[in-house]
Amino acid sequence: MTNRRKWTKARSTRPPDGRVRQSQVVSTFGPGSMLDLLNDAVLVGGLDFWRLKDQGEVVNEPRLLEIVEPLYHRNKWPLSKEAPFRKPPAGDEGGPTESCGIQVYEFPRWFVCQNPHCRTLVRANSLERVNQEYRHRCAGGDAKPERCVPVRFVSACPRGHLSDIDWTWWTHERKPCDAPQLKLEEGVSGDFSDIEVACSTCGKRRRLIDMTHKEQQDRCDGERPWLGLEAKERCDEKQRLLVRTASNGYFAQTTSAITIPEPESLRRKVQSAWNILQSATAETLPAFRTIPQVQAALGSASNAEVLAAITAEREHSPEAVPEIRTAEWLQFLAQPQEKPGEMPRDRTEVFWARRIARPQGLPPLVERVVLARRLREVQAQVGFTRLEPLTKDLQGRYDLDVALAPMSLHRDWVPVTEMQGEGMLLVLDEPQVHAWELSEPVLRREEVLRAGYERWKQGSGSKLPFPGVRLYLLHSLAHLLMTQVALECGYPASSIRERLYCAPHSDAVPMAGILLMTGTTGAEGTLGGLVEEGRRLGQHLARALEDARLCSNDPVCAHHEPTGRDDRDLEGAACHGCLFLPECSCERFNQYLDRALVVPTLGHEDVAFLKTPWT
C-alpha cells in the first residue's frame, strides 16, 4: 500500500501538485486524512514524516497543556515537557524538495480505467505512468493508453485503521480464479446496490452493497499506513466500507484555549511575603498586615481569605485552578465598560475586550454583550477518529476512556495552530435560563433528547453524562447567529467559529454564553468586521429567529425527534436547511442541535426560549 511515496512539496522542477494551509493540517487534513491533489489521491503522513527544521516553531500555551497532557498520559503516548506544541512545517513553493513540508503516501493503490468500454479495476503497479498520470492499455486495441483514477472505495474500522480493499479476494469470496480480470460497473444512480465488481475470466460478480452487511464483513487487518509499514497492529473490529471522500472518513479531534491574562492568585501573593506570614495566626495577622511589604502583597484581601491561603501553603495542598473555559468566562465577565474611542494600545497585546452598552433591540433574556478586539486562540489536534466523531465535555475535555487513533509512533509533541482574531460574546441571563430549564414543557423535551443521547452513548462507548438541554439551546442559537452575521460582517460562514460557554446552574460558576470569533494565522489578525456587527446584535438576533421559525424542510425537520429510527440520535429539529453549518465552524460536528428550543416550531411552540417578539 505504501510502496510508492509522494510529498506535497517534492518536485523541484515545477510547482507542487497541491497546497494545504498550515491551519488545515491541524483539522481537516491532519495526519491520517485522505486528500486529493492535482493528479493523485494521497494519505497525509503521521508526525514522524513531517520535515521540521530543527525543532520547528514552538508555541507556548500552558492552559492548553492541562487538557492535552492527561489524554496523552492515559494513552501512554510520550509528550515533551519542554516543547509539547509545535506548528506544522511550511513548504517551500519556490524550490520544493523532499526535505521540507509534509510527506504523503499514494492511497488507494487500486485504480479504475476511464474508458467506458473497459472500466478495468487494477493495481497501480500494473499501470503505466505517463505525464504524472496512471494509464491503462485496454485489451483488444492499439489506441493510446486510457487515463485511470483512484477507486472511490476503501475500508476502515472504528479504531481508525484504514486499508485498501482486496478486490480480487472479495469478488471471488476468498477463492480467486487463476487469472482474475476485474471490472467496476457503476449504475446510473451510483447507489451501492447498482455498483458491481465482475471478473471477466470466471464470470463471478458481486454487488458492492454486500460489503455493508455485517455478516459479510471481514475482520480488520489493523493497517495504519500513515504511521509507516511497521505500524500494523491487531484489531478485532469489522472492516466497513468507506467512500474515500465521505465526510465520515476523518474526524480531527481538536481542543483549544484562548490566551488570557493570568491574574496573580492570593496564594502567590502570600508566597511573596512568606518569610513574614509563615508564622501568622488569626490573632497576629492584623499586626502583620501593617508591615509595608505585607500590605503591598495582600492588597484588599480579607483576613479570612489570607488565612485560608496561609493554611494551604503550610499544608502544601495543590492550588485550585479554574477549568479552562471557566477561567475564560470569568475573564470576559470581568472586563470593564467600553469608553468612547478606547482601543488597544499595544500591538502585541493578545487579549483585549470590553463590555459595551446594550445594543438596540436586544431581548431582556440577554444579560450583556462583550466585544473582543484582540483574541489569540491556540488549537491542538490530539488524535482523530473515523466513521464516528467523539464528543467533548462542557470544558472541552475528551473522555479519557475512549482511545484515539494516534498521529505518531515516536514523536513527543502535537501539532497546533495559532490564530489571531476577534470575537463577540453573548451572555444570557442566568436566572431566566434556569427558570426556562425547569419549565414542564422543556423538561419533557429534555427527556426525549436524553433518551437519544443514551442510545448514541451505547454505540460510541463514551462515558460522559448527558450534557443537558442548556447546551442544545446555546449551540442552536450560536448556529442561527453565525448564519445571520455572516451575511453582514464580510466573513463567510466557514470563517466564523463558535465557542460555547455552558455549565449547569448547580455549578459553582454557571455559564450560558456564546462566543463567535474569527481569526487568521497571520500576526496582524483580522479587520474588525465581526466586532462592529456585535453593536447590531439585536437586529441580527431578531432576523435570525424570524428565519428560524420555518425551515424549508418543515414539517419534516420540525417533527424530527431522536427516536432511534435513523442515525441522528443527537439532534432534534435540525437539518441542512436551518441549523447545519460547515464543520470547520462547529465545535461539535453539527450535533446537539434543536431549533425547537430557541424559537417556536411546528408542533413544539411551548418549549422555545424566545417565544415572543421583543421589539
Chain segment 341-351, per-residue pLDDT in tens? 778 777 677 88
Q: Average the pLDDT over 451-474 and give the result.
A: 89
- Phi–psi pair at 516, nearest 5 degrees: -100, 130
Burial of 596 by CB count in 10 Å (0-12 exposed, 13-18 middle, 19+ buried)?
buried
How many CB atoms are located within 10 Å of the residue 159 CB?
A: 18
| pLDDT higher than 80, residue 498 | yes
- Phi–psi pair at 91, nearest 5 degrees: -85, 160
| pLDDT higher than 80, residue 159 | yes
Residue 4 confidence class, pLDDT cut points 50, 70, 90: very low
| pLDDT higher than 90, residue 515 | yes
Residue 17 confidence class, pLDDT cut points 50, 70, 90: low
Share of the chain above pLDDT 90, in %: 24
| pLDDT higher than 50, residue 13 | no
Give the whole-angstrom CA distance, residue 439 versus residue 444: 9
Q: Which of 393, 511, 518, 566 is nearest to 463 (CA)?
A: 393
| pLDDT higher than 90, residue 261 | no
Q: Which of 437, 432, 426, 435 is nearest to 362 (CA)?
A: 426
| pLDDT higher than 60, residue 35 | yes
What pLDDT does 526 receive?
A: 64
Give the whole-angstrom CA distance, residue 503 versus residue 505: 7
What pLDDT does 501 receive?
A: 95
| pLDDT higher than 80, residue 73 | no
Calculate the alpha carbon distances from 258 to 386, 485, 581 in Å. 28, 22, 22
Calculate the alpha carbon distances from 227 to 46, 55, 97, 286, 538 in Å. 5, 20, 21, 63, 50
Give the cell for residue 124: 497501480
Give the whole-angstrom CA distance, residue 122 versus residue 135: 11
Q: Which of 81, 17, 13, 5 is nearest to 49 (CA)?
A: 5
* pTM for this predicted structure: 0.82
| pLDDT higher than 90, residue 424 | yes
Give the whole-angstrom CA distance, residue 258 versus residue 326: 11
Q: Average the pLDDT over 595-603 and give the result.
A: 91
Comparing 318-322, 506-510, 514-518, which segment has the lowest mean pLDDT? 318-322
> For residue range 339-383, what is the model confidence (pLDDT) as tens digits?
887 787 776 778 889 999 988 888 889 999 999 998 999 999 988
| pLDDT higher than 60, residue 436 | yes
Burial of 97 by CB count in 10 Å (0-12 exposed, 13-18 middle, 19+ buried)?
middle
Highest mean pLDDT among 273-282, 421-430, 582-591: 421-430
Compute CA 72 distance to the chain's CA centroid, rounded to the nearest angstrom: 18
Residues 138/143/145/146 CA torsion (nearest 10 deg): -70
Residue 482 confidence class, pLDDT cut points 50, 70, 90: very high
Share of the chain above pLDDT 70, in %: 91
| pLDDT higher than 50, residue 8 | no
Q: How high does pLDDT run on average in the chain?
A: 84
Comparing 272-276, 296-300, 609-613, which segment has the lowest mean pLDDT? 609-613
Look at strands 50-51 and 101-106 and give their pairing: antiparallel
What pLDDT does 428 receive?
A: 95
| pLDDT higher than 80, residue 113 | yes
| pLDDT higher than 60, residue 614 | no
What are the residues whose beta carbons fall under 8 Å from the beta carbon of 385, sequence distance 6 or more? 158, 160, 251, 253, 404, 405
Give the whole-angstrom CA distance, residue 513 versus residue 493: 20
What pLDDT does 232 receive?
A: 86
Give the cell for residue 445: 423535551
Calculate the alpha carbon distances from 273 to 98, 310, 352 in Å. 56, 11, 31
Q: Average the pLDDT over 323-349 and give the result.
A: 85
> For residue range 550-594, what is the model confidence (pLDDT) as tens digits?
999 989 999 998 887 778 889 999 999 999 998 888 988 899 999
Q: Average the pLDDT over 462-472 and give the result.
A: 91
What pLDDT does 6 receive?
A: 39
Give the whole-angstrom CA distance, residue 477 versus residue 425: 13
> For residue range 181-225, what is the model confidence (pLDDT) as tens digits?
888 888 777 778 888 888 888 888 888 888 888 777 788 888 999
What pLDDT does 161 receive?
A: 92
Residue 171 confidence class, pLDDT cut points 50, 70, 90: confident
Q: Average the pLDDT over 419-448 and give the result.
A: 93
**Three-state secondary structure along 417-472?**
EEEEEEEEEEEECHHHHHHHHCCHHHHHHHHHHHHHHHHHHHHHCCCCCCCCHHHH
